Amino acid sequence: MKLRAPLLLSTCAGLFIGVLFHAPAAHAQFDAAALIAAVEAVGQDVISETSSITSSLSSVESGLNNQLADGFTQTANYLKGQIGAQEQIADANNNIQAVQRKQYLDAQIMTNHVATPQACDSLSNGQTAVAAAQQTNNIASAIEPVTDARGEAAPGNPSYNGLAQGTQAINYLHYTRYCSANEAAANLCTQSAVPDADQQASTLLGSTTYADTNAVDDANDYSTNLIQPVAPAALRGNLLSSLEGQTEIVWRRHYNAQMSLARTVVTDVLASHTPSVELTTDQEDQLQAEGLPAATTASWLESMQLDVDRRASNVSYQAGLQYMPEKSLLVELVTELAETNYLEFQNFKQNQTISLLDASLLADQAQSQLTAQPTVPIPNLASN
């Protein structure tokens, strides 16, 4: 389009020169005005055509600029669309991850708030053990006043009326309940179903839980033979009020205190084997798993042993342990730690008693090392 204006100018100029140099001489003066008019007309046409061309070029340029602007705008729109799509994809991905994370946390929260069967069993068995311990203390508390009164030869007890009566009472008990074959052959008694059970350690320690009240009585009779078969005769009347009686009663009280402590140790063992609490279903199942006789009640010792055995050998417990979530495992560990602390406390109480026994033996040893009894006269308190 830019070549057309020069071309037209060149054409008009050529035409003008041709007319100027090739016109006939005779008419040169006459045609000059016409020629000038023609040239001017051609010039006007050239100017008009040039304006038209310029206008066309401007229109084309404007169109090209508009098309380029439209193209850049479209490209920008494509870029915006692409960025928007990427943002939507990112938002969708974030939403999916957020939903998955929430579902995971919901599942974890649910798992952490659901008590596992193992946790329920541990709680139930622990409550059984604590209840059994309380019952054991009650049993020991019921036995000790009876045995203490016997050892002190209090009124109503065999040795109150003398050592001979005390000896006769313990022999009568043996012949009635524990008569042996030799004693039966000597016509002292009729052989018992449990001969000599009152002098056999298995009577006290052989069963984790005593089978019945007869077994409890047998264990108590063994304890009596172990600690104090016959109590010394009581000091009464003039024997107590005399000077010699006042000296004797001091050492009798010492003797009674030592016997009460020794008998307490054995009574605690006896009470821990005495049926004292109802077993849980889990504990009954554990009894069956170990091939032991079915039972609905057990001692404190057996309830503790069943819980220990369950954790060590029970198949269902071990299987459940494999699938416990983290929170349940922590609960189980805390439960076992609490049980360990409970047993440690029981050991602490037992060690207190053992320490008392050691102290008593040490006191006896110190007393035996005295060269002579004190010679300071003791006042007659009865006469005062």
Listed by start position, the domains of the chain span: 118-160+233-368
Q: Helix 326-368 and helix 243-272: axis angle, to 10°?
A: 160
Higher pLDDT: 62 or 12? It is: 62
pTM: 0.65
Burial class (CB within 10 angstroms; exposed 0-12, middle 13-18, buried 19+) of 2: exposed
Q: Judge contact between 283 and 298, C-beta under 8 A.
A: yes
* Per-residue pLDDT, 104: 67
From the list 352, 354, 283, the residue with the least C-alpha distance to 314 is 283
Query: Helix (H, G, I), strand (E, B), or coil: what is residue 299?
Result: coil
* Per-residue pLDDT, 374: 52
Q: What is the total residue count of the chain?
A: 384
Mean pLDDT of 320-342: 77
Inform me whether the pLDDT recorded for 65 exceeds 90: no
From the list 161, 252, 138, 274, the residue with the least C-alpha distance to 207 is 274
Q: Judge contact between 358 and 149, C-beta under 8 A.
A: no
Q: Judge contact between 271 and 137, C-beta under 8 A.
A: yes
> Cα(283)–Cα(28) distance, rounded to whole angstroms?
146
Inform me whether the pLDDT recorded for 31 exceeds 80: no
Inform me whether the pLDDT recorded for 83 exceeds 50: yes
From the list 272, 256, 266, the residue with the least C-alpha distance to 227 is 266
> Cα(206)–Cα(194) distance, rounded to whole angstroms?
14
